[in-house]
Amino acid sequence: MNYDRTYSKTENYFGTQPETLLRNFYHRLDRSKRVLDLGVGQGRHALFLAREGFAVDAIDPSEVAIESVSALTDRENLPIRTFQCGFENFVPQTDFYGSILIFGLIQILPGESIDLLLEKAKSWTRAGSIVLVRAFSTADPSFARTRDSREWKSRGKNSFTDGQGRFRTYMEPGQLPALFGDYKVIYHREGLSPWHRHADRPPERHAEVEGVFQR
């Protein structure tokens, strides 16, 4: 997916509402510490938290994503700082984060980037910080479609590329909590997402894994 093009064509491609995971757990986050939203997209999670009074740093390589979140931030005078970059090149302007959101990012990364993502998340947090994560699992229908497609090539365990810069990586059962093995598991679920639709595409639901992990 070309996120600049998608976001230019559709306002709120992923909807305006935060994921239920965030709604259910934001009260556990430390309001006195900054939140980092990795891959903010059109901002549904960062905006929700900022409107609740959290200071948020929001990063995304998509210029259109950052422009739209910045415009809403200015319009509502919200405590969000935006950075147009990937997590790989991000340099925090704060000592550490109280919480990190990783919503919908893991499934579009190459497998080896997930280790880097975990390393960065660890170096940007402290004991007590909370990481909320949502990703696709190998039970998602798109996993078998991608694996069996001639357009996508395997490039490691449950990881694929179309050779044109797009990647898909899926979590096996139990893999997500194992990745956060040295965190305390506050919550972990593997199952189906609610039915939803993006723009004018048909309704769909994903097999997903999600978790709330505390250092």
Ligand X SMILES: C[S@@+](CC[C@H](N)C(=O)[O-])C[C@H]1O[C@@H](n2cnc3c(N)ncnc32)[C@H](O)[C@@H]1O
Among 98, 104, 111, 211, binds ligand X (CB under 6 A): 104
Among 21, 33, 35, 39, binds ligand X (CB under 6 A): 39
**Cβ-based nearer residue to ligand X, 165 or 203:** 165
Stretch that binds ligand X, among 97-105, 125-133, 135-143, 149-157 (CB under 6 A): 97-105
Radius of gyration of the chain (CA): 17
Among 26, 54, 83, 87, binds ligand X (CB under 6 A): 87
Beta strand 97-103 pairing with 35-38: parallel
Tokens, residue 74: 């200015």
Among 21, 105, 131, 179, binds ligand X (CB under 6 A): 105
Establish if 135 lies at the interface with ligand X (CB under 6 A).
no
Q: How far apart are CA 142 and CA 204, in angstroms?
A: 11
Tokens, residue 49: 């938290």
Among 8, 25, 30, 61, binds ligand X (CB under 6 A): 61
Backbone dihedral angles phi then psi of residue 23, each to the nearest 5 degrees: -55, -40
**Cβ-based nearer residue to ligand X, 128 or 163:** 163
**Cβ-based nearer residue to ligand X, 86 or 177:** 86
Stretch that binds ligand X, among 57-65, 167-175, 182-190, 191-199 (CB under 6 A): 57-65
Q: How far apart are CA 89 and CA 120, in angstroms?
A: 10
Backbone dihedral angles phi then psi of residue 91, each to the nearest 5 degrees: -120, 110
Among 41, 98, 111, 211, binds ligand X (CB under 6 A): 41
- Specify the 3-state DSSP secondary structure of 70: helix
Closest separation in Å from C-beta 184 to ligand X: 24
Tokens, residue 59: 């990063």
**Cβ-based nearer residue to ligand X, 23 or 184:** 23
DSSP string, 83-152: E-S-TTT---SSS-EEEEEEES-GGGS-HHHHHHHHHHHHHTEEEEEEEEEEEEBTTSHHHHHHHH-SS-
Stretch that binds ligand X, among 82-90, 119-127, 143-151, 188-196 (CB under 6 A): 82-90
Which residues form the interface with ligand X (CB under 6 A)? 3, 14, 38-41, 44, 59-62, 65, 86-88, 103-105, 108
